[in-house]
Amino acid sequence: MKDILKLDKIKGYWAETVADSPWVAVIRALVRREARAMSAPIVQPASVAGRALTVVIAIMCFLACLTSGAVYMVNQSANDWFADIASEVTVQVIPVDAAEFEKKVTLVSLFLAKQAGIVKVSPLSSEESGELLKPWLGDSNALSALPVPRLIAVEIDRSSLPDMSVVRRALESNFKGVTLDDHRRWQSELRTVTRSMVLGGFAVLVLVGAATVASIVSATKSAMASNREIIEVLHFVGARERFIAHEFEKHFLSIGVRAGLVGALGATLMFLLLPVVMRFLSSGGLAAAEFRQLVGTAVLDWPGYILFGAVVVVVASLCMLTSRYGVYRILKSHD
């Protein structure tokens, strides 16, 4: 019985804390317009400092969302590249004996298909191999006269990777002029490049985050300075510190959420339009296609958009905490 009473006490404490939270007050106000009290809000709803703060928050939130979305996208693209490259190896068949060449390609393909851990074997036709050389040699009939090696794309099972050194040795001992490339060098270089890109992105994100924190804290402090008289009057008429802090937290949290949402919506719009821009950019030419290959389709998936929500929460909380700190700092000079 005693334990139940204690539990009720804990529940009561949490219920009171949650109900008392500025977040609950702001969410209530956003979700359903509560019946307004006859009196105006204690904290001045619209002031020059408040409007400046709103603009600063919206802009910084927009930039923070853009940066975090871009970093997330680069990170996702890097992961996708690795997944693609790690699940494919290439076998090159050099035309040592022209007469037996097609037969050799078929035999090598059949040999590879029998190996454990190999899911799919796709030999490229001579036309497809020629297509790969076109960017360098141009559209010429001379290609047919050249001893163009044939490539075989081999897809491997990522859940049970085959021992590539064993496959390589088996290929080389059974077939003359056949080599296997597991892209290890390319993977290593790509890993270095993408890691640098992601790290660079994080560095920019940290800088934007620091700039966001500094500008929001500074703008909130300015807005708080213009509210000093309200805090003092409330203090002198007998308001408790918690009451005054709560009023200001509600006010600044509301500003933070509204302005943050505007910034996040702006960034969302940008990311929704990005694939259209990318399609426009990649509408012609090999360079554009390579660019698209490099940065992907520029579609931000839903966890990326959730990141924007997190940015809004962080920004609004920052606003709220700075206002609370400002209230206590002013009250400290009077108590």
Partner 1 sequence: MIRFENVGLRYGLGPEVLRDVDFHLVRGSFHFLTGPSGAGKTSLLRLLLMSLRPSRGLIHLFGQNCADLPSPERADLRRRIGIVFQDFRLLDHLTTWENVALPLRVFGKSEASYSEDVTDLLKWVGLGDRMTAYPEVLSGGEKQRAAIARAVIGKPELLLADEPTGNVDPNMANRLLRLFIELNRLGTSVIIATHDFQLMDQCDAPRMVLNEGHLEVR
Footprint on this chain of partner 1 (rule: CB under 8 A): 37-40, 42, 44-45, 229-230, 232-243, 334-335
Q: What is the nearest approach in angstroms of partner 1 to the Cβ of residue 239?
A: 4
Nearer Cβ to partner 1, position 7 or 233? 233
Structural tokens at position 123: 């030999």
Strands (E), the chain: 88-93, 118-123, 150-156, 178-181
Q: What is the nearest approach in angstroms of partner 1 to the Cβ of residue 328?
A: 10
Q: What is the nearest approach in angstroms of partner 1 to the Cβ of residue 332?
A: 10
Q: What is the nearest approach in angstroms of partner 1 to the Cβ of residue 72?
A: 42
DSSP 86-128: HTEEEEEE--SSSTTHHHHHHHHHHHHHHSTTEEEEEEPPHHH
Q: What is the nearest approach in angstroms of partner 1 to the Cβ of residue 53?
A: 16
- What is the C-alpha separation between 313 and 214, in angstroms, rounded? 16
Distances (CA, A) of 67 to 6, 73, 269: 47, 10, 14
Nearer Cβ to partner 1, position 46 or 145? 46
Nearer Cβ to partner 1, position 150 or 235? 235
- What is the C-alpha separation between 249 and 64, in angstroms, rounded? 23
Nearer Cβ to partner 1, position 236 or 302? 236
Nearer Cβ to partner 1, position 37 or 99? 37
Q: What is the largest distance, in Å, between two alpha-carbon atoms of the chain? A: 103
Q: Please count the other Cβ atoms lying within 10 Å of the Cβ belonging to residue 202.
A: 16
Could you tell me if 178 and 92 are in contact, meaning their C-beta atoms sit under 8 angstroms apart? Answer: yes
Residue 87, Cβ density class (10 Å: 0-12 exposed, 13-18 middle, ≥19 buried): middle
Q: What is the nearest approach in angstroms of partner 1 to the Cβ of residue 236?
A: 5
Distances (CA, A) of 136 to 132, 140, 150: 9, 11, 17
Q: What is the nearest approach in angstroms of partner 1 to the Cβ of residue 50?
A: 11
Nearer Cβ to partner 1, position 235 or 324? 235
Nearer Cβ to partner 1, position 72 or 252? 252
